[in-house]
Every structure is written in structure tokens, then in C-alpha cells.
Amino acid sequence: MQPLDGITVVSLEQAVAAPFATRQLADLGARVIKVERPGGDFAREYDRAAKGQSAYFVWCNRGKESVVLDLKDDTDRALFDRILAEADVFVQNLAPGAADRLGLGARELGEKHPRLIRCGISGYGDTGPYTRKKAFDLLVQCETGLVSLTGTPDTPARAGISIADIAAGMYAYTGVLTALYERERTGKGTAFDVSMLDALGEWLGQPLFHGLYGPAPLGRSGARHPSISPYGHYRAGDGGQVFLSVQSDRDWVALCERVLERPELVRDPRFADNPLRHRNDAELTAILEEHFAAHGSDELLERLDAAGIANARLRSVAEFADHPQLAARERWREFDTPSGPLRGLLPPVTVHGREALMGAVPALGAHTDAVRAEFS
């Protein structure tokens, strides 16, 4: 028994945001019918990294049924309407205005199907001057100011993952769960919208408030924290980089006394609190790296652990795949794809006594004939 057994989700989706949201629902047992246009979701063609398949697509489309329909064709549209009449949830992230032109706007669907939950994902929202502006992840990162915060002081950088898509997808996912809970009490489906701009803007809360009310906006700081010190990477004696984070005065005392072995620094007026430590970060970095020069990376990590100081080693993505913590906790599973099995991580929420679903990634149109027969 899975939490969403018996729930049917119909999704007119493409790229990342909506597919990421509906994959979470599939992992919880929902039947997700992914309706693709002739030619398929263009994310299928983003790359060939995963055994000849798009890494984006296999990541976001596990456990779904792929049905190819041309919604401008009368026969296909009639079939789609019959499927939707039996659905619990409808999700779409079509181009701006496309859902309304197809007669699939939230209000119209609500009148036809009062119990249907309707979720629309957009780049910039349904009103305002940017409503019809095309939106992709990097572009939304730019519009929210995220790119002004990432990179080095000299060069801005894109966040290394599709963070605007992921943010919107997660709010869509939680919105669907909330709407399902509400429908249990009211008997009626609700409609809601999620924009990538709003979702990523929520995640930018700390720098936003800092910029609104602080003495100056936060700048780009590379792999260092823009407002906490010491927090970032420091050179060890073997040339490696050790990452550490001091979050409180208690941590600062432990670092000075147990790692640096310089208790006099605790009351040094340059470093008496975090704002002062951050203001004098260059001097503090020099002190840390002078001491660290006599020690190798592994030794420093052990000493930091012993002192209770949060720390990490910088890993590549390939090294993360071999992370001993993932192996010890048996977080890897295989799931099927058209090109053979792939290895993937279990969903992050671990429910005791239940094995999460990790269904197959569908080939384009793999379920079209079966769904046509079912809803004929």
C-alpha cells in the first residue's frame, strides 16, 4: 500500500518543473499519465548521457505512463477529455496562454470537473507584464538576482543545478498534496498556480531581507559564505581544501582552543562576534591557513570532528556517487528504462517499513495503445 494508491494524475508537461513535481507523486504510488505531443517532451533530447538517454528525462520521469496525443486532433482530444474526467489531478506547464487556448484553463476545468485539482506551473505567473515571457531555469535565476549572488567577485555564475525548476516543482508537489487533503474535507478540487519566479524568490529570502534592510547587498563570494565567517574552504598543508563552518560563539571557542590551539583569539577584538569575524575575514583566513599548513587534509578533518566543528571535504559528483554514507545506508536502487536499468537514489523521505516506488522510465508513447483501449 502506497500513500497515493488510487490517485490518477494527468500531466501536460515538458522540460523539468512539472515533470519533477509529478515524479514525486509517482514515487508515492499515484498513477501519472504523462501526455506528450507527437515528437515527445523536448527534454528527451537534452543530452545522451544516461545510456543514450537524456539525464534530465530519466531523472524527472520515473514511474509514469507515456501517452502520445495531438490535442488539436478531434479524436485525440476526445480521448484526452475522457481520461481527464476520471482524473484526480491535472498538472500543466505549457507555454504561456496555451492551456486557455486549448480550453484547459483552471476555471473552465473546475466547472466541468468539480473534484479535479488543477495545478498550473509558469515562469512568471498569470498576471503582470512578464506573463507571456518565456522562462527557462537560468533566465529565472537571472531575474530573481540569484546569479548576482553566485560565482566569484569578478564573474557571476549559474547555480549548478536547475534550481528554479526544482523550486517550482517542489511547491507544485506540496500544493497537490495539500489540495488532496483539502478535498477529503470539502469534496471539491481546488486550483492553484506556481511560478518559477515566486518559488525561487522564496528560496532567496535571506539575501532578500539582507538587501532590503542590511547595510549593503550581499556580493558574490565563491565558495565562501557571504555573511558568516569562518565558513568556506581553507588550504591544508597537502594542497587540499578543507571546508568548515563556525555557526556560533561556542564553535568559535572550540576552533580557537582545540584546533588552532590559540585560546587568545577567542577575545581578540577583531573576531569577538560573527559580524566582526566576517569584516576581518581576510585576516582570519590567513591565521587559519598558517596553522593548517602544518597538517594534511585528512588530519584536519579528524581534528575538526573531534572539536565538534562542522566540516566537509570537496567531492566531485562521481565521488558523491561513491559516498560511504550512501553505501552504508543502502540508498541506491535500480530502475528500468528503455535503454536498460539505471542506478538511482531512493526518494529522500524514508518511511519506516515501506520501500519507496522507483518505477520505469517510459519510452515515448509506450502506453498509448493501452490507454486508448482503457478509455475507449
Report which of 47, 40, 324 is spatially closest to residue 162, judged by C-alpha positions: 47
In a shared domain, residues 26 and 79: yes
For residue 22 the three cell numbers come to 509529478
Element (H, E) at 32: strand 31-36
The answer to whether position 1 is within a domain reads: no
Report which of 88, 115, 85 is spatially closest to residue 30, judged by C-alpha positions: 88
In a shared domain, residues 142 and 20: yes
The answer to whether position 221 is within a domain reads: no
Q: Which of 268, 289, 314 is the last residue of a domain?
A: 314
Report which of 342, 368, 20 is spatially closest to residue 174, judged by C-alpha positions: 20
For residue 301 the three cell numbers come to 578533518
Q: What is the pLDDT of residue 63?
A: 97
In a shared domain, residues 66 and 138: yes
The answer to whether position 341 is within a domain reads: yes
Domain CATH for 169:
3.40.50.10540
In a shared domain, residues 251 and 157: no
In a shared domain, residues 159 and 257: no
Mean pLDDT of 341-346: 96
Structure confidence by residue, pLDDT tens digits, 94-120: 998 899 999 999 999 999 999 999 999
Sign, Cα dihedral of 120, 122, 124, 127: negative
Mean pLDDT of 180-184: 98
Structure confidence by residue, pLDDT tens digits, 45-61: 999 999 999 999 999 99
In a shared domain, residues 302 and 344: no
Q: Which of 225, 291, 295, 367 is catalytic?
A: 225
In a shared domain, residues 118 and 64: yes
Per-residue pLDDT for 183 more than 90? yes
In a shared domain, residues 153 and 284: no
Q: What is the pLDDT of residue 157?
A: 94
The answer to whether position 3 is within a domain reads: no
Mean pLDDT of 329-341: 96
Per-residue pLDDT for 217 more than 90? no
Mean pLDDT of 20-36: 97
Note down the domain range covering 147: 8-204+330-374
| Domains of the chain: total | 2
Cis peptide before 153 (omega within 30 of 0): no
Per-residue pLDDT for 306 more than 90? yes
Percentage of the chain beyond pLDDT 90 is 93
Which residues are paired to 90 by β-bridges?
A: 10, 118
In a shared domain, residues 123 and 37: yes
In a shared domain, residues 27 and 58: yes
Report which of 63, 62, 56 is spatially closest to residue 17, judged by C-alpha positions: 56
Domain CATH for 256:
3.30.1540.10
- Per the document, the length of the chain is 376
Mean pLDDT of 37-48: 96
In a shared domain, residues 197 and 346: yes
The answer to whether position 220 is within a domain reads: no
The answer to whether position 61 is within a domain reads: yes
Cα separation of 230 and 255, whole Å? 10
In a shared domain, residues 116 and 157: yes
225 is catalytic: yes
Model pTM score = 0.92
